[in-house]
Amino acid sequence: MIFKEIIPGLKLQPYIKCFYYYESDSDSSYDDIVFPSGTMEVIFNLGAGNWQSKSDDTFYTTPPIELWGQITKPLAIQSVGRNIMLGFKFYPHSAAYFFNEPVSEFNNKIVDAADALGPSLKTLHDKLLETRKLESRIALLEEYLWQKLAASEKRHNKIKFVGDIVHYLKKNYSEDNIVSLSHRHNVSTRYLNMLFSQYTGLAPKLFYKINRFQHSLNLISQSEEKLTSIAYSSGYFDQAHFIKEFKLFTGVTPNTFAKQASPINQVLAAS
């Protein structure tokens, strides 16, 4: 398996968390589970294989250009054949710069990104298939994203406001904090919650829970700390609270995850 993470150029760094390249090392099919991450992403499938995602107990082949909305529960996927993927991740709030629709419309869905971003994305996909060098592919993505960003200029102030709240709530969520933030910015708590959900796809409380879960996932994947220590380091009340919430987002306990985590999930948890 090849996995590379690429930092965007300076002008895109406030909007794109990272680009990444993935190439499977065989044609063997395998099953995996994707967990909530608090971010949205777009994936271009450039190989001969394909991915399938599970919905209502049935696996469906994903589109050639996948738009992943906010995932709030475990999602089963299958890799079929030899897969090559080139993707990019948004920050929790920054996908809103690129879409006219409220991003919450994509929650728990994998849809055709060209339907949401327009036919120019299919043209970009064709160019990526024709281009072999990773650096040239990244340059094509950056050019496309910068053009889309310029077209959304009217929404920038509101989205930046939500971005500031995102950074604050990552480690400081409480109902009192929401009230305090709304007073500070002279808006109602209802409006703040609505704006946050519109531009991130998540309610503030759920965003905080997913961010806390992701922190614990990272600690489990990268260290040998005891689960009690990981629970407190991640902001949980106690180990029982940690186990309950971890199982909600993964379908398994932390102990089971640590023993059975797939290589691709360990890579994604660390990124």
171 vs 173: CA distance, rounded Å: 6
**Residue showing tokens 């072999």:** 132
220-249 pLDDT, tens digit each: 887 777 888 999 988 898 899 999 999 999
Neighbours of 84 (CB within 10 A): 16
Tell me: pLDDT of 268 over 70. no
Could you tell me if residue 17 is inside a domain? yes
pLDDT at 174: 76
Instruction: Quote the pTM value.
Output: 0.88
pLDDT at 262: 59
CATH code for the domain of 123 = 2.60.120
- What mean pLDDT value characterizes the chain? 90
pLDDT at 270: 47
As given in the structure block, the two tokens for residue 169 are 């709530």
More confident residue, 258 or 60: 60
Could you tell me if residue 251 is inside a domain? no
Could you tell me if residue 147 is inside a domain? yes
Could you tell me if residue 76 is inside a domain? yes
Contact present, 239 and 227 (Cβ < 8 Å)? yes
Cβ partners under 8 Å of residue 133, min gap 6: none
Of residues 233, 215, 264, the one with CA closest to residue 20:
264
Tell me: pLDDT of 29 over 90. no
pLDDT band at residue 84 using 50, 70 and 90 as cut-offs: very high
Q: Which residues constitute the domain of residue 72? A: 2-153
Could you tell me if residue 107 is inside a domain? yes
As given in the structure block, the two tokens for residue 24 are 């499977």
Tell me: pLDDT of 110 over 70. yes
3-state helix, strand, coil in the chain (%, to 5): 50, 20, 30
Domain count, the chain: 1
Cβ partners under 8 Å of residue 86, min gap 6: 19, 20, 21, 43, 44, 46, 128, 134, 137, 141
